[in-house]
Structure formats: structure tokens, C-alpha cells
Amino acid sequence: VLVDIPTTRVHHLSFGAITEQNYVSVRVRSDDGLGGVGEASTIGGPAWAEESTETIKAIIDQYLTPQLLGRDPRDLQAMAALMDRLVRGNRFAKAAVEMALLDLVARSLAVPAHRLLGGKVHDRIDLAWTLASGKTDADIDEGEAKIAARLHHIFKLKIGAGDPAADVAHASRIAQHFSGRASVQVDVNQAWDELTATRCIARLEAAGVALIEQPVARHNLAAMARLAQRFEVAIMADESLATPTDALQLVQQAAADVFALKLTKAGGPLATMRTAAIADAAGIPCYGGCMLETSVGTAAYLHTFAAIGAIRLGCELFGPLLLKDDLVTRPLTYHDGAIHLHEGHGFGIEIDPDKLAFYRRDRAPRVALSSASTST
């Protein structure tokens, strides 16, 4: 089911600005009447990665569902391997299905989903917030409100859309404003070439910015490696890192100091665990990334991240806090600068059928019918 939910404010990224988030909500059912839920979230359609909600739904409906029907969801590894054989790439689609299978199996065993991934090592994970209103003063006010509410002490700025010098001035002012009270990081979302990155990172480092995420194009691992070597400030791979194979290449080329993990770009919880194992073996700390999921996807990410010891630099599972509404009956637990692991079977969340009916893209039109009928 395709779902669209408006955001609380415009969210600016290097490749565009969003006012609503788009999702594919996946449900699987077993013969004994149990259900499992998963979600693929995209930012700006196929602007962040290759997949859009429309392609994800087509892959699931036409290529995955017919082959998965009738199989045993408890064979999770076999199901993931089958999906990899059936469909090249399209990892967001496969991740959403694998999430739903994991939720279903954990529910059938009456255990939280993290138990099937080896059990939790975190009860809480420090929670970053992204300041991306597009205006420096508004970002500072928003950050102050977040600190006052004791929700966040890590801020991520989305830069790269504008003039690099203006971006550096914007980030430097915010880093200096929150100095000693919050850590400020920037995500460039691949926008710079290496020369621009080299010049800008030197200034951001001097201004106290704590981490630089994906400064250059995802395939430019050589430039990532040179930047990681040149600067003390941490260089984090996001778009450069999707699969375990990418993780291996990043390690081999020493092309990142930190890995950003996300279930959808990896292709599911199992591939995320394998990616984290490579980071662990290489001594690379991880950060729990997001794609602005609802509480459904966020709970899936949280149960996976809770089982990953290499997640030592916090997470950004704040998607539900940026949305005007959500799909679940009970919200997730946010307080004291962290997201807290909740109790329950599977991912520990329930979809609210009224919310799903309201936000699904193919819902019946709800307004303008009366005026249409009076005019005929």
C-alpha cells in the first residue's frame, strides 16, 4: 500500500526539499492468521537512491509476492536469498518484505524481533535531530527548543544545495552557537567534488563540526579515502555504503571513519547485521541512519540497531517526530536525548487501520464530492 504523510515543516536536502514523506507499507499474513508489517520509506522519490515508492510496489506485487506465497516465513535466510535470486538490486523493496517476515515470525514466537537477531545490546540509543529548515536562525531556534525539551543533543545539518561558502557559514554559525551543549554534524548528500570538500571540511572542522557525512559522490571511494586520511573530523559513509560488499570495499580502501547503517539501503535486517559485522571486524563505529520512516519502519530499524554493538555513535530514528501524523496506535518512546527500546512481540507496534485508510494514496476522495453533486 502506498502511503503519503505530510511533514511538520519543509525539510531541505542537497537534492531538493520535501513537504511529505512517501512510503510503501507491507503486510504479510500466515495461514494461522498472524500478520507482520514492514515499510520502505523514500526521500524525494528516486532522488536519494534509485527506488521510488512506485517501483518498490511494482517489484513487490509483480515479482516477490507470487514467489513468496506459500513458503515458510521462519526460513528467513532462505527467503532473503530467494528474493536476491529473483530480483537484482531493488533493496528497499526486499527490505520492506524481510521486515514484515521478521515481525511475523517474532510474533508467532511471542518474542521481540531483536531476539531473532541475537538479542539486544542497547536499551536506548542517543538520538540526533536534523535541522533542515533552510534558514540559519530558524534552525538555531528549533535546536534550542529540542534541547529545552531534552529530546536531542546531536544535531545534523543538511547542506550541499547552495553556495559552498554560504553552507559553511551556516553550519559554522550553528556549530559555534551550540558549542559545548550539542554536537553538530553535517550531511552533504554527495553534493561536493573533492576540491570543494577539501576546502569546506577544513573550515567546518575549525568551526567545531563533529562529523561530515557523505561529502562526495557515492562511487568516489578514492576521494572519500583521501578526505578520511587528511582530516581528523570523522568522515561518514552513507550513500557509499549499502550492502555488505560495499562495507568490505570501504574497509579495504580505508574510505570512511564511520558507517551509517539503514535497513532499506542494505536490503533488510539480515544484510544490515552482516554490514555491521564487517564494521565491527574493522573497528569502525556505526551510526543508526534513517530514511524518515513512520513508527513502523522506525521500530524495525530500532529492533535491528538494538542488536548491533557497533552502533556507538547514536542514531537518527526521529522520523515519527518530523511527521504530522503516524500509522500506529501507540507512539514510540522518546525522552532524555534518546529513543528507547519498547516491549512487545515482533516490532512491538500495531498499525491503526483508520490512519492507514486515511493516508493511503489510493483512498477514496474525501472532499469536494458534495460540491460536485450540487453542480450536476
DSSP 110: T
* CA atoms within 13 A of residue 220's CA, in its CB half-sphere: 17
Per-residue binding string, ligand MUC, 213-232, x by CB under 6 A, is --------------------
Q: Report the alpha-carbon distance of residue 235 to residue 256 in Å, rounded.
A: 6
Q: Is 94 a catalytic residue?
A: no
Give the end-to-end CA distance of the chain in Å, rounded to a whole number.
33
Which entry of ligand MUC, Mg ion, none binds 292, CB below 5 to 8 A by partner kind?
Answer: ligand MUC
Strand locations in 139-282 (E): 154-158, 183-187, 211-213, 234-237, 258-261
Contacts of 106 (CB under 8 A, 6+ apart): 112, 113, 115, 116, 345, 346, 347
Q: Which listed range, 40-48, 94-102, 238-246, 278-286, lies at the site for Mg ion (CB under 5 A)?
A: 238-246
238 binds Mg ion (CB under 5 A): yes
Please report, as residue ranges, which positions from 188 to 217 form the binding site for Mg ion (by CB under 5 A). 213
Please select the residue that binds ligand MUC; options are 39, 103, 142, 187, rule is CB under 6 A: 187
What b/e readout covers 251-262, taking b as 16+ CB neighbours within 10 angstroms? beeebbbbbbbb
Length of the chain: 376
Q: In the bound complex, which residue of the shown chain has the CB atom lying closest to Mg ion?
A: 238
Q: Report the alpha-carbon distance of residue 243 to residue 264 in Å, rounded.
A: 10
Amino acid at 98: E
Which entry of Mg ion, ligand MUC, none binds 112, CB below 5 to 8 A by partner kind?
Answer: none
CA 167 centroid distance within chain: 23
125 binds ligand MUC (CB under 6 A): no
126 binds Mg ion (CB under 5 A): no
* H or E stretch at 24: strand 16-29
The least distance separating ligand MUC from the CB of residue 189, rounded to whole angstroms, comes to 5
Q: Report the alpha-carbon distance of residue 165 to residue 311 in Å, rounded.
A: 32
Q: Report the alpha-carbon distance of residue 98 to residue 105 in Å, rounded.
A: 11
323 binds ligand MUC (CB under 6 A): no
103 binds ligand MUC (CB under 6 A): no
Please select the residue that binds ligand MUC; options are 43, 159, 182, 211, rule is CB under 6 A: 43
**153 close to 180: Cβ distance less than 8 angstroms:** no
246 binds ligand MUC (CB under 6 A): no
Q: Which is nearer to ligand MUC, 80 or 191 (CB)?
A: 191
- CA-to-CA dists, residue 256 to 166, 238, 279, 285, angstroms: 25, 10, 10, 10
294 binds ligand MUC (CB under 6 A): no
187 binds Mg ion (CB under 5 A): yes
The least distance separating Mg ion from the CB of residue 236, rounded to whole angstroms, comes to 8
Amino acid at 271: A
Q: Which listed range, 76-84, 118-126, 181-189, 314-322, lies at the site for Mg ion (CB under 5 A)?
A: 181-189
Q: Is 316 a catalytic residue?
A: yes
Which entry of ligand MUC, Mg ion, none binds 43, CB below 5 to 8 A by partner kind?
Answer: ligand MUC
317 binds ligand MUC (CB under 6 A): no
Number of residues that bind Mg ion (CB under 5 A): 3
Which entry of ligand MUC, Mg ion, none binds 39, CB below 5 to 8 A by partner kind?
Answer: none
Q: Report the alpha-carbon distance of residue 173 to residue 188 in Å, rounded.
A: 17
- Choose, from 158, 213, 239, 265, the residue flagged as catalytic: 158
Q: Which listed range, 193-201, 286-294, 306-314, 339-347, lies at the site for ligand MUC (CB under 6 A)?
A: 286-294
Q: Report the alpha-carbon distance of residue 122 to residue 301 in Å, rounded.
A: 13
Residues making contact with Mg ion (CB under 5 A): 187, 213, 238
Catalytic residues, by residue number, are 158, 316
Residue ranges in contact with ligand MUC by CB under 6 A:
13, 43, 130, 132, 158, 187, 189, 238, 289-292, 316
